[in-house]
């Protein structure tokens, strides 16, 4: 971990402002295999749902002992991830137009939409993003070694469709306040965490 301290002079107050930036290394692959005891602790930490405009519509912590964040921290996290996801959708190589593939020449087929950041992995957690066709993003925070996070997200999305989107009292793009959804998603994740 490296820490950088920078000092700037603000013209408004003419005093130096100090802030600290901390960088933790990201790892794509674990350099050393985890211990057998560590392999047993596969945990889903939290779930965040972001609407297509980048607003936080659902947040739930599932693991005990996590650092508690304020509502404002979660709002900033949702907006920041939405911005990073939007930028990374534009960071894909252009396909060569000189030799189109046979499947791309079909008039009814659309090219797949560009995908933004899908996985962010650190030594302490893994963030998996699942974006729906409507732009809603499901962010799942898990143990780095948690298997099948894409299937977990698909099941959470299925529950979301059944108990939130089919709820006649739910307004689109608004915070999720559905008791049936809450009960079922908590029961589903507790089942994963108790394995």
For domain 40-90+113-193, give the fold. Beta-Lactamase (3.30.450)
pLDDT for 158 beyond 60: yes
Indicate the pLDDT class of residue 57, thresholds 50, 70 and 90.
very high
Segment (H or E) for 160: helix 149-160
Indicate the pLDDT class of residue 91, thresholds 50, 70 and 90.
confident
pLDDT for 101 beyond 60: no
pLDDT tens readout for residues 26-53: 333 333 444 444 444 678 999 999 999 9
How far is C-alpha 185 from the chain's CA centre?
Answer: 17
pLDDT for 86 beyond 70: yes
> Per the confidence metrics, is the pTM higher than 0.75?
no
CA distance 111 to 114: 9
Two structure tokens written together for 23: 């960088």
Two structure tokens written together for 7: 């000092």
Mean pLDDT (whole number) for 48-76: 89
Give the domain ranges of the chain.
40-90+113-193
Which residues partner with 46 through β-bridges? 61, 141
Average pLDDT taken over every residue of the chain: 76
CA distance 89 to 179: 34
pLDDT tens readout for residues 104-146: 555 677 666 667 888 989 898 999 999 998 889 999 999 998 8
Question: Among 56, 51, 53, which residue's Cα sits nearest to residue 78?
Answer: 56
Q: Are 62 and 186 in contact (CB under 8 A)?
A: yes
């Amino acid at each position: 971990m490296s820490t950088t301290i920078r000092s700037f002079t603000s013209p408004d107050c003419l005093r130096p402002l100090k802030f600290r930036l901390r960088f933790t290394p990201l790892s794509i692959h674990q350099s050393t295999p985890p211990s057998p005891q560590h392999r047993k602790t596969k945990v889903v930490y939290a779930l965040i749902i972001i609407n297509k405009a980048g607003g936080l519509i659902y947040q739930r912590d599932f693991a005990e002992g996590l650092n508690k964040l304020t509502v404002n921290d979660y709002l900033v996290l949702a907006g920041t991830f939405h911005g990073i996801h939007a930028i990374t959708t534009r960071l894909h190589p252009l396909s060569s137009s000189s030799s189109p593939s046979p499947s791309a020449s079909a008039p009814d087929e659309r090219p797949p939409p560009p995908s933004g950041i899908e996985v962010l992995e650190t030594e302490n957690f893994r963030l998996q993003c699942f974006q729906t066709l409507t732009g809603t993003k499901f962010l799942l925070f898990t143990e780095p070694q948690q298997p099948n996070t894409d299937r977990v997200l698909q099941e959470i999305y299925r529950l979301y469709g059944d108990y939130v989107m089919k709820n006649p009292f739910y307004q689109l793009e608004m915070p999720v306040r559905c008791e049936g959804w809450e009960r079922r998603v908590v029961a589903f994740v507790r089942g994963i965490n108790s394995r």
